[in-house]
Structure 1
């Protein structure tokens, strides 16, 4: 870089402002009208799934490494910076990566600016890309893509944060042509100042899933006269090629029920063996059954 001089009468140039990088996607700024009791509501979406089809999993966990690591970052402007990283360890993890980060001009606070575009690549051509944007103060969306050889993983995430709830929906590797992919929904509701209740639901469809998809159902039964309510969740998994059909159920009374049906496909006579199990640990009530169906 060359040197420049200026006359004493000229004012020195203003210092370059640092690149503004927003917090992780899970940290969404609360709306101004949010009540004080709900400002500490835990954001529900953390990248902790152990599903190998979901990129950037275990975001909450520490990213450990062995050997040596060198990271150099260079801001080129108030909105753009580049980075160089070199890892010297075992042959599987060693290598050089080049990264770039862009932060936009839409600001909700001095520490947050959107959209954010991050990417890095190595000498083998493997590429990671992230696009993060907050359309409103309480909505944050993220697109993640990983390219490694001829394989590609994608993920779309949108987080919502209200005055007393947080919600998130994730679509991993959606393929509309082959009707495959994973959809995960989270919901967390503030019940009292010290109690939050939430639920998670995952739906997966594709050729690698036995039967093509998974069947899940939920039921809520209430009795106003007795002041009781029971919620139940049922699950069914069918493997047609093996002639297996599994059904399970669990409810809020800690009751667990399950049946397993196995058809003897190689038999000329239609025979189905059935295993049944029922249990309630709170009542020390357990039952088991074995059956056979002909026809």
Structure 2
């Protein structure tokens, strides 16, 4: 059954090209959890809230570098307090090349001191291909999100989701690519509960309906857990499609490390990864690197060239087993 179920990651809309540092929000704005934007500062009213299930492994995942290939230049410009535009040019033999225009809008209405009611992000190329995402806080407890991808004048992906948070729990529901005419689509239900101040338990139920699936539909259930220590985080999940474990630890103010193990019954393989993040705030320097059991070594460093508003990024990735090497460099101006 697990072989027939597409995971939510495969259809997730990407609004921002992750090749280099994504554009920051306009000055003074605090966006929601739109892809490429900083996470919302936790509302004191929900200080015991465990967050969403899809953020369960966030601390560990953030340590690992996001590799990119080719060259890219991005120019960010804040037009006013809530609106920012970006222009980017990418040259690559792997990822789509060319010019892209992006825009970010943060509404002035706030549902709390740190949470804007509306955040919109989008990016379009000259052919009309569009990636867009949005977040709308109905109130302090309810957040609605949408994402879409348009390719060749057709909706390639569209997703609607909502998060409801209580004092010590969060429930989420997402609907991906629903189609009443072909009786297809994916529905995902998440629930995460704080058991203690350090322990959170959660569950995910994924339902997929499609004529290509034997019987017309399939269901996948998995459970998750997270333990938060003083300077470390343990998290994991187990389901009929595989299991995963993550470990994150902050060793000091400059160094963070993460270990991840992922097993897929569908692909019949287990991959372990070790990554670290090294920060030198006084030098405006960040280095991320990782190595995994597929014999891939990746490193990305970012350097802000003060006093100029420039950020330079350089990436190198080498797979020893396949003898493949990729190099990327990027420059962000503004922001």
How high is the TM-score relative to the length of structure 1?
A: 0.56
Rounded to whole Å, the distance in 2 between the matches of 1:177 and 1:30 is 41
Secondary structure at the counterpart of residue 124 of structure 1: coil
Secondary structure at 1:214's aligned position in 2? strand
**Which residue of structure 1 lines up, in the alignment, with residue 194 of structure 2?**
190
RMSD of aligned alpha carbons: 3.3
Aligned residue number for residue 201 of structure 1: 205
Partner of 1:113: 116
CA contact (8 A) 1:31 1:163 kept: no
Deviates more, 1:89-98 or 1:136-145: 89-98
1:192 deviates by 2.2
Residues 1:42 and 1:185: Cα distance change in structure 2 (over 3 Å): same
- Structure 1 ranges of 4+ moved more than 6 A: 58-61
- CA separation in 2, counterparts of 1:44 and 1:73? 32
Q: Deviations over 1:76-130 (max 9, x none)?
A: 1222121101112226432111011111122145653231121111122211111
Matched, 1:129 2:138: no
Cα 1:170–1:216 change in 2 (3 A) is closer
Which of the residues 152, 176, 182 maps onto 1:178?
182
* Paired residues of 1:72 and 1:85 also in contact (CA < 8 A): yes
- After TM superposition, give the deviation of residue 178 of structure 1 in Å: 2.7
How many aligned residue pairs are there?
Answer: 193
If asked which structure has higher relative contact order (CA below 8 Å, sep 6+), I would say 2
Separation in 1 of the partners of 2:156 and 2:217?
A: 22
Matches of 2:174 and 2:62, distance apart in 1: 15
**CA offset digits 1:2-41 (Å, max 9, x no partner):** xxxxxxxxxxxxxxx836241425956655544x6x25x2
Matched residues in 1 for 2:169 and 2:132: separation? 29
Q: Deviations over 1:183-233 (max 9, x none)?
A: 001111112232211111000001222221126799xxxxxxxxxxxxxx9
- Distance, in Å, in 1 between the alignment partners of 2:62 and 2:155 is 21
Asked if structure 2 preserves the Cα contact closer than 8 Å seen for 1:47 and 1:59, the reply is no
Q: Which residue of structure 1 aligns with residue 89 of structure 2? A: 86
Change (3 A) 1:176 1:19: farther
Q: 1:147 to 1:71 in 2, by over 3 A?
A: same
What secondary structure does 1:157 align onto?
strand
Contact in 2 for aligned 1:186/1:199 (Cα 8 Å)? yes
Query: Which of 143, 168, 171 is equivalent to 2:146?
Result: 143
Q: Structure 1 CA distance, aligned partners of 2:78 and 2:114? A: 16
TM-superposed deviation, 1:47:
10
Give the structure with higher Rg (CA).
Answer: 1
Question: What aligned pairs does 1:147-158 form with structure 2 within 5 A after superposition?
Answer: 147-149=150-152, 150-158=154-162
- 5 Å-filtered alignment, 1:261-280, equals none
Tell me whether 1:44 sits opposite 2:53 in the alignment: yes
What 5-or-longer segments of structure 2 have no aligned partner? 1-25, 223-238, 242-335
Preserved contact between residue 46 and residue 60 of structure 1 (Cα < 8 Å): no
Counterparts of 2:221 and 2:100 in 1: how far apart (Å)? 46
- Whole-Å Cα distance in 2 between the matches of residues 116 and 84 of structure 1? 19
Secondary structure of the residue that 1:45 maps to in structure 2?
helix
TM-score by length of 2: 0.50
Q: Distance in 2 between matches of 1:217 and 1:18?
A: 42
Closer, same or farther: CA 21–83 of 1 in aligned 2, 3 Å:
farther
